[in-house]
Amino acid sequence: MSEIVTELDVLKTTERWAAEGRRLALATVVETWGSAPRPTGSHLVIDDEGNFEGSVSGGCVEGAVVSEAIDVIAAGEPRMLEFGVADETAWRVGLSCGGRIRVYVEKVN
């Protein structure tokens, strides 16, 4: 497991990508309601070309987070995103499990 964990360690990946000079944003699950797929504190790192590592929802909303993250990298200001069944876009971008999550997206400087 330690080898797999090392490979999947998002914060180490973030440090490595940053050292390579890539422009990055880090997304973090800061709050969950109901049955959310990933616990609070989970990370997703995204570069400005849309490459990413990690997960904030096990695949449900990563696409949306990635596109917001690219905006955050350009604008520099952090953003709070919210996803869930209450969202009117639930059928396009939502959590099929019925939970809700808040995701904080910040630029890595």
Partner 1 sequence: MDRALLAGLNEERAARRAAVVVTELATGRQRLVREAEVGADPLAAEVEKAIRSGKSGIAQTEAGEVFLNAHLPPARIVSIGAVHISQALAPMAKIAGFDFEIIDPRTAFASEERFPGATLHAEWPEDVLKERPFDPYTAVCVITHDPKIDDFPLFSALQTGCFYIGALGSRKTHAKRVERLKEAGIPQSSIDRIEAPIGADIGAATPGEIAVAILASVIEAFRKRKMFADRRGETEPA
Would you tell me which residues interact with partner 1 (CB under 8 A)? 1-3, 5, 11-12, 14-15, 18, 26, 28, 30-31, 39-41, 77-78, 80, 104, 106-109
User: For residue 54, what are the β-bridge partners?
Assistant: 44
Cβ atoms 104, 30 nearer than 8 A: yes
Distance CA 81, CA 2 (A): 32
Name the residue nearer to partner 1 (CB basis): 39 or 88. Answer: 39
The backbone torsions φ and ψ at residue 101, rounded to the nearest 5 degrees and listed phi first, read -140, 150
Q: Which C-beta is closer to partner 1: that of 76 or that of 96? A: 76
Least distance to partner 1 from the beta carbon of 72, Å? 11
Which of residues 15 and 87 has its CB atom nearest to partner 1 in the complex? 15
Retrieve residue 8's tokens: 């999947």
